[in-house]
A and B are shown apart, each in its own frame.
Chain A
Amino acid sequence: MFLTAAIALFIGMIIVLIRLYAGPTLYDRVLAGNAFGTYTVLFIGVLGFLTGRPDFLDIALLYALINFVGTIAILKYFRYRAIGDTSPAPRGTPAANGRLNDRGAKS
């Protein structure tokens, strides 16, 4: 039964890889990367049960966390174009307000 689940996961991974390669827009690719991370989590869980040692489930949870934080970081990059300090200027100055409006119009 778990082998069937593993095969189904493999098929899903291949479909996601195709979308990642062909995907026309950036968001298709972000989504495909995130979905592949989810498949990794699921596959680690299934692999634990396949080999008779379901202790790996905790590790699968950690992968889910990494996947979530990584996707947030990538999307944050799209929005702000920076990793650490995302506040470009002190609030209230005309330059900061103008930049915020620019960004809103763009996205």
Chain B
Amino acid sequence: MELFINLTLFSMLVVTALAILRMRHLFAVVMLSSVFSLLCALLFVTLDAVDVAFTEAAVGAGISSVLMLGTMALTARHEKMPREFSPIPLIVVVATGAVLIYGTLDMPDFGSPDSPAQAHLATQYLTQSPTDIGVPNVVTAILASYRGYDTLGETVVVFTACVGVLMLIGGLARRRRKQGEETK
């Protein structure tokens, strides 16, 4: 049953990726890529990584599609046809993918109790975080207390990036609007 669900989700993912490649209408590409990240999120949920799935859905399907629409409003709506087929990017992508797949061959099985991630630190967090911190959810305890400064730094970085992007897009749009008024 799990195999069936995973196979169906992965084949839909592949079909969506091929559709993104074939599309020249950029708005449809934006919508398809948001569907792509929703499918990724579903796959993460089937792998029990619910928090990663939630981040993927919020960033991939929510914010990045709005940002890409914003970019599209400032640039063009249709993709230009590529001039000619060049094999070098294809070779680079295939080689990188092959190396990545080769790297996963050494990894422990999914959910195996002997994996290094489960062996040392995880048991300590699981046994000690209720008495150390008193937060019932272990993930929250790690994120907000053990790695509190780390999380604060991450939030500052993301916030700064958001402010920068908004200023860039907003400034461009305002300049374009002013130009339009002057030409009128």
- Residues of A whose CB lies within 8 Å of any CB of B are 3, 6, 10, 13-14, 17, 20-21, 23, 26, 29-30, 32-33, 36-37, 40, 43-44, 47, 50, 56, 59, 62-63, 66-67, 69-70, 73-74, 77, 81-85, 88, 95
Contact = CB atoms under 8 A, between A and B. Distances in A.
Say what secondary structure dominates the interface of chain B: helix
Contacts of A83: 66, 70, 166, 169-170
Contacts, number: 92
Contacts of B27: 26, 29
Given A56-B45, A70-B61, A82-B170, A30 B12 contact: no
A63 B16 CA distance: 20
Contact of B31 (A30, A63, A66): A30
Closest 6 CB pairs of A and B: A33-B31, A70-B62, A73-B66, A29-B31, A40-B38, A77-B69
Contacts of B62: 66, 69-70, 73
Interface in B22-76: 23, 27-28, 31-32, 34-35, 38, 41-42, 45-46, 50, 53-54, 57-58, 61-62, 65-66, 69-70, 73
A82 B70 CA distance: 7
B57 A40 contact: yes
Contact of A14 (B5, B12, B46, B50): B12
A32 to B, nearest CB: 7
17 contacts: A17-B19, A20-B28, A20-B35, A21-B28, A21-B32, A29-B27, A30-B31, A47-B42, A47-B45, A59-B45, A59-B53, A59-B54, A69-B62, A77-B69, A81-B73, A85-B170, A95-B181
